[in-house]
Amino acid sequence: MITSSMTKQTTRRTSPVTLSRGSENKNKSVFQCNNKKSSDDDGNLTDSKHPGSTFVPFLPNSVVSSIGPASLVGGTATIYTSLLQHPSSTLTQLSFVLMMLLAVQYAVQPQLSKKYISPKIKKQSVALVEEVVKTSFAAAIFFSKSSNDVQSALKDWSLSSSLAIAGLPAMLYAIQGVLQYVSYQNLDSVTFNGLTQTKTLSAAFCCWIIMKKSQSPIQMVALGILFGSALVFQGYIRPGMLWQKNSEIKTGDNDDWVWRGVVPCLGAAFLSGLAGALSQKGLQLTGIGGRDPFLYTIEISFFSAVALLFNILRSNDFSELEWQKQKTYWNWKTLIPILLKASGGVVTALVHKYAGSVSKGFALMFGLVLANMIQLTKTKDEKLQPYQVLGTIMIMLSTWLHFTSPPIV
């Protein structure tokens, strides 16, 4: 009876799509896509390989691992250099630098957070400290400007206008954090990160709705390629699916996986795109020359911090006994990922100002490429896989198409 119960629980944790044994054996010689995964209490993937990392390569692993990193770095440098020099490109040198900084932050943030932040820390307190630090960073940069620039930025400022412009995005970011926490408890990290990439598509859609900023047909194709590259990196698109004739789909006992995992994650991704579009509108279309990005970061972070503090005070999670326990999980190393993420928030505001929220999605996707490259240097047993090269090529192609084919006004 114990064995039967354990087997039933294990079955319920598996992905809703499984292959029949005959189909699995039939395709094992082409692609092996049935890696077993296990999750810890926080939903992190443990003792499992990336979906698709067991692909039978179309090139020898020795060739891929030797020329792959150089070709990825060289190809990325070439494509972005040509983007800067292309006559119809909308990517400036400043926006390029900002996007690269954001990509680096996105690439190293997960590893640093996992290493230095205890899983027992209440995430509301971490987010609150991050918003306070972000507000401090932005305020220090803003008030370090000349007095004329500060006075010009604050000339038409009022609390009512600040709430009207920054209040709604701040609330959306707060709701997004709650949805991410819910979905994180019910999805493995690979699935979560894969679904999160849909924020780029929601950003493009919301920019079209809110700012009437349309995408050219080629840009729409580029967004589709970008979304496809996210699926390739996460292992959801596999050439082996073409040969899986006798697969069977099990849909039972998956309500929690869908409604508590997938739906909140997609909702958080949509809110991210919506908040990004509202931020872009607030930065570009308010005031004479657009709202100062550092002032806007101060407003967004301050309102988010107030919302988080209010939620903490009204909850019972931070009683005196619990607070004494929480303090034991904090040390100076905990601030490393928090400071890095706060700096990334300031850079994000600049990307919204000079490149747009859709371009932010491309920066995050390139950060995913850098994260894979960093992982190769950390783990000796893992070699560069062909699907990583394929995903990078798709990112380069989508970036080129999007920035060199703006809509004709």
- Tens digits of pLDDT across the chain (409 residues): 444 444 444 444 444 444 444 444 444 333 333 344 444 444 444 444 444 444 444 445 555 555 556 666 666 666 666 656 655 556 677 887 888 888 888 777 777 777 787 777 787 788 888 889 989 999 998 999 898 989 888 887 888 878 878 888 888 887 776 676 666 556 655 456 656 767 777 877 888 888 777 778 888 888 888 778 767 765 666 545 544 444 443 444 466 667 877 788 788 888 888 888 887 777 666 654 567 888 888 998 899 889 888 888 887 666 666 777 778 888 888 898 889 888 988 887 788 777 765 666 667 767 767 776 776 665 555 555 666 667 667 777 777 777 767 776 6
pLDDT for the residue numbered 266: 82
Distant-in-sequence contacts of 260-265, Cβ < 8 A, 24+ apart: 260/182, 260/183, 260/185, 260/186, 261/183, 261/186, 261/187, 261/191, 262/183, 262/187, 262/195, 263/183, 264/179, 264/180, 264/182, 264/183, 265/179, 265/180, 265/183, 265/187, 265/191, 265/192, 265/195, 265/196
For residue 6, tell me if it sits in a domain. Answer: no
For residue 100, tell me if it sits in a domain. Answer: yes
For residue 30, tell me if it sits in a domain. Answer: no
For residue 245, tell me if it sits in a domain. Answer: no
For residue 376, tell me if it sits in a domain. Answer: yes
For residue 317, tell me if it sits in a domain. Answer: yes
The domain in which residue 218 lies consists of 52-149+162-235+265-404
For residue 74, tell me if it sits in a domain. Answer: yes
Q: Per the structure block, which two tokens stand in for 28?
A: 């094992």
Number of domains the chain is built from: 1
Q: Please give the model's pTM, rounded to 2 decimal places.
A: 0.66
Q: Per the structure block, which two tokens stand in for 42?
A: 């926080």
Phi and psi of 99, rounded to 5°? -65, -35
For residue 184, tell me if it sits in a domain. Answer: yes
pLDDT for the residue numbered 3: 43
CA atoms lying within 13 Å on the CB side of residue 142: 23
Q: Are 75 and 392 in contact (CB under 8 A)?
A: yes
